[in-house]
Structure 1
Amino acid sequence: EGAELIWKRMTNVQDPFPTVHDCYLKQYQLGMPNLSRRYTTILFDEAQDANPVTSSIVLQQNCKVILVGDRHQQIYRFRGANNALDSKELMNADQLYLTHSFRFGPNVSLVANALLELKGETRPVVGRGPADQVVMFLPGDVGHRAILHRTVMGVIETALSATESGAQVFWVGGIDAYQINELQDLYWFSMAEPDRVKNKKLLDEYEDYFEYQEVAKATKDPEMMRAVKIINSYDEIPERLTTLRRNTVKEEFGADITVSTAHRCKGLEWDFVQLYDDFPDVLDPELDPMARDDEINLLYVASTRAMRILALNSAVEMVIRYITQKRMVEKQMKMAAEATEVEEDTTK
């Protein structure tokens, strides 16, 4: 009933009740727009992370429809995004696979294929770019580099460490998109100074900082755990955050390092990329299968941002070791089976 009331008020143009983008998008869909009156062809990009409402609008058209996407780059399922490429309307559609990338070379493609093999992908990615390297740590003399993270707090942790040496930092999406104020609130909360906490929701949800830490441990929430690590590792957080803002640049060409989450880096590329060690273990048997696929997708997206040198984290390193061992076992089993067949033929 509450949802119906909100919908009624939001869709009433005479009502001062505020509306949101999703509301008038849904209204547009319900109006059954006929785009074929104006267009002969619709190209729907990023279809793997489509808004279900937008997908419905596109797929109900009578004109030609082309969907472009990569199911292995579906990273917004947590927002309710669907993979429109799997829509029933496309069951008989022609499918063309674009497996060659000119961003990176053969070594980064080996990493990408190891990740995709975990998901059962049989079509390998082919790196057609210039010669590249895969290492564990970026050389110190590479200059500007991009460091990609799973968590927002991981981004802040990297930036804090970098600014200690005076590095200039560029934040993909801007520094204000990375919960800097929330970290400062948590600091004052940990110091038992609730009057300095601006976001009072923190005070409502947790009795004290000890309870916050206990919840972080119990839920294993990566953002909370990383925030606790920062608070417990650094003193004078407010002063450090002030330095952080002072060392932030608005244009990337003036930066020593670029920081981003894996979600925000999609569609971007850099010569030198380091994967930060805050991604979960995708080989963990307790990981939910759907969540596992999402995490593999994030690692795949982050890994394929590198054009010249990719520095791995422990999560990807373990995947490569696992896949290498798996392939060796499969090869040995195949050789044993072939030897058995030869022996049987000889016996006959």
Structure 2
Amino acid sequence: MGEKPPTPEQQEIIDTSRTGEDMVVEAGAGTGKTTTLVQVAKAKPGKRGVYVAYNKAIAQDAKSRFPREVQCSTAHGLAFGAVGKRYAHRLDAARVPAREVARILRINEPLRLSEKILAPPQVARMVMETITRYCRSASPEPEPWHVPRKPGLDSDADREILRDALVPLARKAWGDIRSVDGRLRFEHDHYLKMWALSGPRLPVEYVMLDEAQDANPIIAQIVEGQAHAQRIMVGDRCQAIYGWNGAVDAMSKFSGTRRMLTQSFRFGPRVAREANKWLEMLGADLRLKGFDRIRSVLAPVESPDALLCRTNSTAMAEAMRLMGEGKRVALVGGGNGIRRLAEAAIQLKAGAGTDHPELIAFQTWGEVQEYAESDPSGSDLLTFVRLIDEWGPDVVIDAVDRLVPDPARPSPRRGRRTVTPDVLISTAHKAKGREWDSVKVADDFREPRHKDEDGRPLDIPADEAMLAYVTVTRAKLTLDRGGLAWIDNWI
């Protein structure tokens, strides 16, 4: 069978690409953006290009689809060949304990804050987190805003003390990292940052950046710097859900001819209409069209292919409930993050403090409970605190051990048969990029409490509406809206 002819929207994008103009393609959920980029590349025979993928798996898959003149790679893959290979010996090195980081950086005294005291290893951990945030930014050197916020250390006074102390230490750490013979742990983001700082010029005639709405600022900076080449950014601005992790929407600021892909091939008109409710709430220009050949429905689902939750803690609580019913449960991304939090809870219950990066400000579990219940900044911890209080950390850890592998990313232990789960559970963030025949939405997507003069919710941030849009567009055939059905009260 031959390839399907381009849709009118795809043909318009192909025609625009032939002009050599920079271009921004707004591609809604399931609209075949990779297929469109392959069509664009095939319309440029003999021209060298590069397709920058979001992750290695996507890049590997793309290699079999794009013409051979197109290099398919992640930004890290490009940077490794240019810079990273010189540091390969350090990438294989053992982890450097926080105590050793403190010794290398000569952090010899505790850091006194307004009400807390951080020991040198705790300061060292925050220095390395500052480096991580710096390496994901477009800044030429570590700055005060790279210092991470920590629960319990978020007062203005503490923030000022932390910035004054950590920025000079971060700059010192970066000097060690850049040395081929440095002693601090060297990571993949480090050589990417070094490559970006060198102002690389790719030897190609066009550059395609996929998932541009969630671009690492470094990657966006590199692509925007290829002024000698045609730059094509593709993504869905309404799926920009990783801002909390330092991602930037490279599409909004980039100047180029704008085109759209609105015809979804993932689901039918009924799911498309549900997605469009969230696009309307976001004030987006994009509206999706469902595929007429797919008969999607909105209906209750008792046994969905995937149960999507707002938070990791809710996902784990649902997993424990279902395992209590005798179900085999897989958790997308695994349960190691919850395990580490539960282990930290054990340490805090013993009054020993913890080295968990999100809980280093607390000495006891009671302090965490009080912070989560009474401080608005602690709301993200509240579900986890209630999970631990209801079940106990040991029971939570045992439940993590009983999870079965995600079928899409199996990791069976040696000598054991792969177990097929009865239920797959995921957070909405980790579900991005995936799809299932039937999806049920958990009830931890809370309805806003107030409306403005136009009837819109006052207390739902854009990133929450984007997350809801991502959630409902994972379903192909049946969507059980569950905790997102309240949208009908607002549209």
What is the TM-score of this pair, normalised by structure 1? 0.79
Do the aligned residues in 1 keep the contact of 2:372 with 2:381 (CA within 8 Å)? Answer: yes
- 1:217 and 1:284 map into 2 onto residues whose CA distance is 22
Percentage identity across paired residues of the two chains: 29
Q: Classify the secondary structure of the residue corresponding to 2:366.
A: helix
Whole-Å separation in 1 of the counterparts to 2:322 and 2:395: 15
Give the alignment of 1:40-189 within 5 angstroms.
Answer: 40-61=205-226, 62-87=228-253, 90-91=254-255, 93-128=256-291, 130-135=294-299, 137-138=300-301, 140=302, 143-176=303-336, 178-186=337-345, 189=348
Residue 15 (structure 1) shift: 2.6
- Output the CA distance in 2 between the equivalents of 1:185 and 1:198: 6
Q: Matched residue of 1:271: which SS?
A: strand
Distance change (3 Å), C-alpha of 1:319 and 1:202 = closer
Helix, strand or coil at the partner of 1:278: coil
Report how far residue 40 of structure 1 moved: 2.1
Contact 1:149 1:275 in 2 (8 A): yes
Within-5 A mapping of 1:129-278: 130-135=294-299, 137-138=300-301, 140=302, 143-176=303-336, 178-186=337-345, 189=348, 192-194=349-351, 199=355, 205-220=361-376, 221-234=378-391, 237-239=393-395, 241-251=397-407, 254-278=420-444
Contact (CA 8 Å) 2:214, 2:248: kept in 1 or not?
Answer: yes
Q: How far is the alpha carbon of 1:199 from its aligned partner?
A: 4.9
1:250 offset after TM fit, Å? 4.8
Q: Displacement, 1:145? A: 2.2
User: Cα distance, 1:126 vs. partner?
Assistant: 0.9
Indicate if the aligned counterparts of 2:307 and 2:439 stay in contact, CA closer than 8 A: yes
Task: Quote the Cα distance in structure 2 between the aligned partners of 1:80 and 1:26.
Answer: 14
Query: Residues 159 and 259 of structure 1 are in contact (CA less than 8 Å); yes or no, is this contact kept in structure 2?
Result: yes
1:122 CA displacement: 3.7
| Residues 105-130 of structure 1 deviation map (CA, whole Å, 9 limit, x = unaligned) | 11111211111111112432111151
Q: Secondary structure of 1:117's partner? A: helix
Q: Is the 8 A contact 1:111 1:320 kept in 2?
A: no
Determine the structure 1 residue equivalent to 2:171: 4
* 2:481 paired residue number: 312
Deviations 1:44-101 (Å, cap 9, x if unpaired)? 00000111111111111111221111100001111221111123xx42x221101111
Secondary structure of 1:264's counterpart equals helix
**Unmatched tracts of structure 1, length 5 or more:** 324-348
When structure 1 is superposed on structure 2, of 41-50 and 14-23 the one drifting more is 14-23
Amino acid at match of 1:230: L
**Contact 1:282/1:296 (<8 A) preserved:** no
Contact 1:132 1:309 in 2 (8 A): yes
What is the CA deviation profile of residues 122-158 of structure 1, one whole-angstrom value per residue up to 9, with x for unaligned ones? 43211115111113x31x3xx4521111111011101
Of 186, 189, 193, the residue aligned with 1:22 is 189
Task: Check 1:34–1:200 CA distance in 2 against 1; reply closer, same or farther (3 A cut).
Answer: closer
Alpha-carbon separation, structure 2, partners of 1:180 and 1:18: 24
> C-alpha separation between the residues in 1 aligned to 2:259 and 2:473?
21
CA distance in 1, matches of 2:250, 2:343: 40
Residue of structure 1 equivalent to 2:25: none
The structural deviation recorded for 1:174 is: 2.3
Aligned residue for 2:272, secondary structure, equals: helix
Match of 2:99 in 1: none
Is 1:182–1:199's contact at 8 Å kept on the other side of the alignment?
Answer: no
Which residue, out of 454, 468, 471, partners 1:299?
468
Compare relative contact order (CA 8 Å, sep 6+) and give the higher one, 1 or 2: 1
1:8-49 per-residue CA deviation (whole Å, 9 max, x = no partner) reads 2211223323333332212111212111x2x22211000001
Provide the C-alpha distance between the structure 1 equivalents of 2:340 and 2:260, rounded to a whole number of angstroms: 44
CA contact (8 A) 1:73 1:300 kept: yes
CA apart distance, 1:187: 5.6
Task: Flag the 1:14–1:284 CA change in 2: closer, same or farther, 3 A.
Answer: farther
Q: Secondary structure at the match of 1:267?
A: coil
Give the conservation status (yes or no) of the 8 Å contact 1:273–1:310. yes
Distance 1:187 1:244, change over 3 A: same
Alignment partner, residue 23 of structure 2: none
**Counterpart contact for 1:280–1:295, Cα < 8 Å:** no
Distance 1:246 1:95 in 2: 48
RMSD (Å) for aligned C-alpha atoms: 2.8
How far apart are residue 181 of structure 1 and its match? 3.4
1:144, 1:256 within 8 Å by CA — same for their partners in 2?
no
Aligned residues: 308
Rounded to whole Å, the distance in 1 between the matches of 2:190 and 2:459 is 28
TM-score calculated relative to the size of structure 2: 0.57
Whether contact under 8 Å (1:187, 1:231) holds in the other structure is no
